[in-house]
Amino acid sequence: MTLEALEAFRKPLPRQDPEPLAYLRAKNDFTFDIRLEARLQTAKMKTSHTITRTNFQNLYWSASQQLAHHTVGGCNLQPGDLLASGTISGESEESRGCMLELTWRGANPLTLPNGETRKWLDDGDTLAISGWCEGDGYRVGFGEVSGKILPAV
């Protein structure tokens, strides 16, 4: 995905408190309105169930700040390197970004439509994560990544 394709979804970076160190501050720093969703399908379910919806805008650090921090200590980046942001959680319970947060460290299991519950992912579960930007009558998507939890051997 090019930055040009995302330009229509650029948003100002929210105020950061505490204020970042000087090398991480930029007058016109920005983020993107990218919708994110995770769906879970257990071995007993015929279709997946959405367990969380959040947004890239919920990240505290901008992509520029993450890159600056990554490289300031001398860590080189090369074309094609992949960086991960970590968990992206929103303010509501439904927008928590991982099973640890969604189940409040396992204290509040998720109840799925078929009655099963989950504190964590189990063997046979498939998790699918997708992201997209949505405009007036159109969508720009990042595709989907999914994986199935296999038993230890």
pLDDT tens, residue by residue, 77-95: 898 998 888 899 999 999 9
Residue 64: predicted pLDDT = 92
User: 């460290």: which residue's tokens?
Assistant: 105
Residue 3: predicted pLDDT = 86
With a cut of 90, say whether residue 61 has pLDDT above it. yes
Residue 83: predicted pLDDT = 86
Q: In the CATH scheme, what is the code of domain 3-148?
A: 3.90.850.10
CA 94 to chain centre: 13
Residue 82: predicted pLDDT = 87
Nearest CA among 107, 129, 138 for reference residue 120: 107
Ordered by start, the domain boundaries in the chain are: 3-148
Q: How far apart are CA 34 and CA 8, in angstroms?
A: 11
The mean pLDDT value of the chain amounts to: 94
Cis peptide before 79 (omega within 30 of 0): no
Span 109-127, average pLDDT: 98
With a cut of 90, say whether residue 65 has pLDDT above it. yes
Q: Specify the DSSP element, H or E, that contains 37.
A: strand 35-41
